[in-house]
Amino acid sequence: MNKSNQSKLNKVLVIGSGPIIIGQAAEFDYAGTQACQALKEEGIEVVLVNSNPATIMTDPGIADRIYIEPLTLQFVEKIIAQERPDGLLPTLGGQVGLNLALKLYEEGVLAKYNVRLLGTPIEAIKKAEDRELFKLTMEEINQPVPESAIVSNLEEAVDFAEQVGYPIIVRPAYTLGGTGGGIANNREQLIEIAHLGLKHSIINQVLIEKSVAGWKEIEYEVIRDRADNCVIICSMENFDPVGVHTGDSIVVAPTQTLSKDEFLMLKSASIEIIRALGIEGGCNIQFALDPNSKRYYVIEVNPRVSRSSALASKATGYPIARVATKIAVGLTLDQIINAVTRKTYAFFEPTVDYVVVKIPRWPFDKFAQADRHLNTQMKATGEVMAIDRTFQAALLKAVRSTEIGVSGLNLPELAEIDTPTLKKRLTAADDERLFLIAEALRRGIGIEEIWSLTKIDRFFLEKIAGLIRIEEQLSKQTIDTITQSLLYEAKQAGFSDVDIACYLGSTEEEVRDLRRKFNLKPVYKMVDTCAAEFEAATPYYYSTYEQENEAIPSDRKKVIVLGSGPIRIGQGIEFDY
């Protein structure tokens, strides 16, 4: 550690994220646990406060001292008075930690007890979270933002909407998962949504902006240190266009549909933005990109480790929370060892030679009468991630991981709805949209028409159409007539043995036996941050149907541990714990 900082930091208080709520799940326990371990590696005593006992971070040994207390100004001030920490680390506890740090600063608690706010400075937090300051900062560096107004009452919201026209997007300040936000298509909807937004914002402020719904939504995960070194960790693309909260959208990493010029344009913008805001640590930047030009808008910046950070971290193997913590205590990227290779440093851009797909897990199986439409306010309780060599294979693997009773893109009940109803449902995003697209393609509805109804990029629609074509080819075969090449194509595209058996009119066991006869077996590839340029010390693996296997088994005795899958109603992070 930098010696000047080490002399000042003997004890650090870490704020956890509290109970699981929509938009804030196990990813912050994951980040907080990494943070505590990273601090202890630097010889710092760690004090943790969190109100959720069913977490890994509250386990004995993760922190030196643990307080299971409410995450409120009054309780945390008492802990600060008792422990007298040298520093406070709030950016790993999601929006809860960030908002609490802001209150502690504004109420003078940090100054009273001489506690340093570690990582991103308070002014940088305000610039990113306060909608007015954020808009002004973007304008200062000539980064485009949608036409918008900052309002603190309903009259101002309605006045702006009547000037620019509907639809209007409402984005409250200092909230999580789009809480209190939404898309308003008329005056009545605007009044209802803006009222909730003002209620949920801790500074009674919402951003009312002209909608760019239908544009591509692109995310960049960026990290910066105090020496102004910046690294792009991961680029991500939302399957759904702007208008659906990224937590409710299928997300693909790396970006699939950007040209080289578009990718570099948004990469440069991301670095300019994180530098202008003065963020030190991890940062998620969201863009809206016009699919018909290079025009873009900056939608939002999260000046903290977020849900997307956890996805980017697992997608690349780059431990964002750990590195952000090291930065917070004074280290720079060129001083932090890459925990995966243990030979290189954190000042590098991860190399990804595979495709990652995230699919949300919604609670509508428990709340069948709830509104299933998706907008800018998050509804998913959890998510799954799948890795494979292609988008198609990763998508089907992710669908199976959601544990909703399907193994592919065929939702049986959709066959019962008529085509006009199918097309109408395609126009408004809901949790079954992926399956609706597959059903539309089976009925011969063209890609152009589906694109006009959904504004989902044609690249993704083409890939789903490719899966439907394989379905059709399989349906014309039997277990006795299918060729080795077709079976291999289906397995490479991500089809399960169960699905293949269904199309062939056979059994899963028969398909598996045939695979073995053809010697079609999965191999395991490595996630190592560097595409095998350096040997990895702590890699993890994914299965795929290719030739070379990178997971070499050892001679040691082994136990396989089965995880609990995505977070859902009745099953939270207690099973991760």
CATH label of the domain that carries residue 292: 3.30.470.20
Query: Is 334 domain-assigned?
Result: yes
Query: Is 319 domain-assigned?
Result: yes
Of 43, 21, 77, 30, the residue nearest 326 (C-alpha): 43
The pLDDT, as a whole number, for residue 537 is 59
Query: Is 521 domain-assigned?
Result: no
The pLDDT, as a whole number, for residue 577 is 63
Give whole-number Cα distances, 425 to 414, 422, 446, 545, in Å. 11, 5, 16, 35
pLDDT in tens, the chain (577 residues): 444 444 479 999 999 888 877 766 677 788 888 899 999 999 999 999 998 887 888 888 899 999 999 999 999 999 999 999 999 998 877 778 888 998 999 999 999 999 999 988 888 888 887 878 888 999 999 999 988 888 888 988 899 888 888 888 888 876 655 577 888 888 998 998 888 888 888 788 888 888 888 899 999 999 999 999 999 999 999 999 998 988 899 999 999 999 999 999 999 999 999 999 999 999 999 999 999 999 999 998 888 777 788 889 888 988 898 999 999 999 999 999 877 667 778 898 888 899 999 999 988 877 878 888 888 788 888 899 999 999 999 999 999 999 898 989 999 999 999 999 999 999 999 999 999 999 999 999 999 999 999 999 999 999 999 999 999 999 999 999 999 999 999 999 999 999 999 999 999 999 999 999 999 999 999 887 665 555 655 668 999 999 899 888 889 999 998 888 887 776 766 676 6
Decide: helix, strand or coil at residue 394: helix
Question: Residues 223, 156: one domain?
Answer: no
Query: Is 441 domain-assigned?
Result: no
Residues in CB range of 405: below 8 A, 6 or more apart = none
Query: Is 268 domain-assigned?
Result: yes
Question: Residues 205, 231: one domain?
Answer: no
- Lookup: tokens for 426: 């395609």
Question: Residues 168, 239: one domain?
Answer: no
CB neighbourhood size of 345 (10 A): 13
Of 346, 326, 307, the residue nearest 566 (C-alpha): 307
Q: Specify which residues 209 forms β-bridges with.
A: 148, 169
Question: Residues 167, 203: one domain?
Answer: yes
The pLDDT, as a whole number, for residue 528 is 72
The pLDDT, as a whole number, for residue 175 is 65
Mark which of 180, 210, 240 sits at the end of a domain: 210
Question: Residues 236, 348: one domain?
Answer: yes
Long-range contacts of residues 53-56, Cβ cutoff 8 Å, at least 24 apart: 54/572, 54/573, 54/574, 54/577, 55/16, 55/29, 55/573, 55/577, 56/29, 56/30, 56/573, 56/576, 56/577
Q: In which domain, by residue range, is 53 found? A: 3-118
Question: Residues 200, 226: one domain?
Answer: no
Residue type, 504: L
Query: Is 11 domain-assigned?
Result: yes
Of 266, 320, 317, 315, the residue nearest 290 (C-alpha): 266
Domain with residue 37: its CATH number is: 3.40.50.20
The pLDDT, as a whole number, for residue 401 is 94
Query: Is 105 domain-assigned?
Result: yes
Please state, in angstroms and rounded to a whole number, the distance separating the CA atoms of residues 362 and 526. 30
Q: Where are the alpha helices (DSSP H) in 288-390?
A: 307-316, 320-328
Mark which of 79, 98, 118 sits at the end of a domain: 118
- Lookup: tokens for 551: 């997971």
Question: Residues 346, 230: one domain?
Answer: yes
The pLDDT, as a whole number, for residue 1 is 47
Residues in CB range of 91: below 8 A, 6 or more apart = 97, 98, 119, 120, 281, 282, 303, 304, 305, 324, 328
Long-range contacts of residues 121-128, Cβ cutoff 8 Å, at least 24 apart: 121/278, 121/280, 123/278, 124/277, 124/278, 124/279, 124/280, 124/303, 125/98, 125/101, 125/303, 125/304, 126/102, 127/277, 127/278, 127/303, 128/277, 128/279, 128/283, 128/301, 128/302, 128/303
The pLDDT, as a whole number, for residue 376 is 78
The pLDDT, as a whole number, for residue 3 is 42
Question: Residues 179, 228: one domain?
Answer: no
Question: Residues 17, 32: one domain?
Answer: yes
Please state, in angstroms and rounded to a whole number, the distance separating the CA atoms of residues 494 and 372. 27
The pLDDT, as a whole number, for residue 328 is 92
224 contacts 445 by C-beta, under 8 angstroms: no
Phi, psi of 96 (to 5 degrees): -60, -50
Question: Residues 338, 232: one domain?
Answer: yes
Question: Residues 263, 326: one domain?
Answer: yes
Query: Is 560 domain-assigned?
Result: no
Please state, in angstroms and rounded to a whole number, the distance separating the CA atoms of residues 358 and 469. 23
Phi, psi of 142 (to 5 degrees): 60, 35
210 contacts 243 by C-beta, under 8 angstroms: no
Phi, psi of 32 (to 5 degrees): -65, -35
- How many structural domains comprise the chain? 3
Question: Residues 282, 162: one domain?
Answer: no
Of 96, 73, 101, the residue nearest 18 (C-alpha): 96
Mark which of 326, 352, 378 sits at the end of a domain: 352
DSSP state of 483: -
